[in-house]
Structure 1
Amino acid sequence: MNGARRGPRVVFWRHGQTSWNLEGRFQGSTDIPLTETGRAQARRAARQLAALQPDAIIASDLGRATETAAELAAVTGLPVTRHQALRETYAGVWQGLTNTEIQQKYGDDYAAWRRGEPVRRGGGELETEVADRAVPVILEAVERLPGDGTLVVVSHGGAIRTSLGRLLGLEPFHWESLGGLSNCCWSVLGRGGRGWRLLEHNAGTLPEPVIGDDT
């Protein structure tokens, strides 16, 4: 980059595969561990992300995120700081249900959510409330980076999308335009002269299907 100042960079890394991902069940804040495939995904992705020479790792305190983060910690030697604020959206009675079951039992709320209306899915959190709790933790970690440092945030599909939308200055209605992340894929923000910029989205070795709460 010809010695030019790059500024801080934030890598948002989604956790690896879980059994509920495969079963199409809405996980939300339910603490579901990685499958063996999920652990292998995390090991493979960690080797790639280590090449970015991260300066810090923060993660959701849910097991699937901390297990994923541990693979990068093992490669880089960095500690992982866990935050409850980086958990996936709490979705109340929707959690544990399949997409079909949600539509059958809570069809009106589901349809309103798909239209982009602010809905407490299953009586849980609004997407804006997820951003309200997650983004301050991310920005605090960014402020502790060296000037051109890289932060890795290990979290969940919905929490990552809402954080990206907030940091990019998008209106909440348009957050859905940021497509879901596949298991163990990542998005990268860099800070430019007019704020945060999306540098990469849903990056990984090869395209993978998006399975999970964002499907």
Structure 2
Amino acid sequence: MSTIDTGKGASTGREKHTGRKIVLWRHGQTAWNLERRFQGSTDIELTEAGVAQARRAARLLASLQPEAIVASDLQRAAATAAELAAITGLPVEHDAALRETYAGAWQGLTHEEILEKYGEQYAAWKRGEAVRRGGGELETEVADRAAPLVLKHVDRLSEGGTLVVVSHGGTIRTTIGRLLGLESFYWEGLGGLSNCCWSVLGEGARGWRLMEHNAGTLPEPVLGDDV
């Protein structure tokens, strides 16, 4: 059984917490990131720079001695996860529940094109309203599919074990918000992740705590859908 209430971020009453950790790792750079083109669930591959980012980050994350790796099945996340698997020897379990937010008509458009064609919808989303960007998923629906999948894998960890989740900026942010028990309006306050950076959640006596956010490099611009 999970040690937290996913809706509130509270413990289930166990006197001793297990100290497990979740590392939520964003994929490396893609050409669409550089073009500020909304990817969503479109399956875009890594650039050469993105592969190099993943390789560098994997060496750092391997030092955490993770027990398990789970990744989005989109190739930019799968290829990123493969770099860590190559070092650790761990298998990667791929799951569509970790895909980036499906954003319908927004997908493939640049940031400027979205503002031009869907300016009011974009503004409403930034205000924190529940918006189906491009007719796609709500952020809460993304959390509904991703957070339980993460917890399922956490439940398999040993005492003090670490799970690495390789996913996408928007999906990671909504998952963190859900696991911390924050209302969806406040998820924006977590900020985005740069390519191949990660956040760490640690299990404490009262649930999950954010231990690191957007770690892994010197500050870089956030290029992606979660802006």
- Compute the TM-score of the two structures, normalised by the length of structure 1: 0.97
User: Which residue of structure 2 aligns with residue 112 of structure 1?
Assistant: 124
Alignment of structure 1 residues 68-147 onto 2, 5 Å: 68-147=80-159
Alignment of structure 1 residues 34-49 onto 2, 5 Å: 34-49=46-61
Cα pair 1:10 1:153 within 8 Å, conserved: yes
In the TM superposition, residue 5 of structure 1 has moved relative to its aligned partner by: 7.1
In the TM superposition, residue 207 of structure 1 has moved relative to its aligned partner by: 1.8
CA RMSD of aligned residues (A): 1.1
Q: Deviations over 1:148-206 (max 9, x none)?
A: 10000000000000000000000000000001000000000001000000000000132
SS in 2 for 1:90: coil
Cα pair 1:5 1:148 within 8 Å, conserved: no
User: Which residue of structure 2 aligns with residue 158 of structure 1?
Assistant: 170
Cα distance in 2 between the residues matched to 1:59 and 1:151: 11
In the TM superposition, residue 59 of structure 1 has moved relative to its aligned partner by: 0.1
- Structure 1: which amino acid aligns with 2:124? A
Cα pair 2:38 2:224 within 8 Å, conserved: yes
Cα distance in 1 between the residues matched to 2:206 and 2:178: 14
Cα distance in 1 between the residues matched to 2:125 and 2:147: 22
Cα pair 2:38 2:111 within 8 Å, conserved: yes
User: Which residue of structure 2 aligns with residue 175 of structure 1?
Assistant: 187
Q: Deviations over 1:42-89 (max 9, x none)?
A: 000000000000000000000000000000000000000000000000
SS in 2 for 1:161: helix
User: Which residue of structure 2 aligns with residue 186 of structure 1?
Assistant: 198
Cα pair 1:56 1:78 within 8 Å, conserved: yes
Cα distance in 1 between the residues matched to 2:92 and 2:118: 38
User: Which residue of structure 1 aligns with residue 73 of structure 2?
Assistant: 61
Structure 1 gap segments, 5+ residues each: none
Cα distance in 2 between the residues matched to 1:159 and 1:34: 18
In the TM superposition, residue 208 of structure 1 has moved relative to its aligned partner by: 1.7
Q: Deviations over 1:8-58 (max 9, x none)?
A: 100000000000000000000000000000000000000000000000000
Distance 1:133 1:5, change over 3 A: closer
1:202 and 2:202 correspond: no
SS in 2 for 1:174: helix
* Moved >2 Å (runs of 4+): none
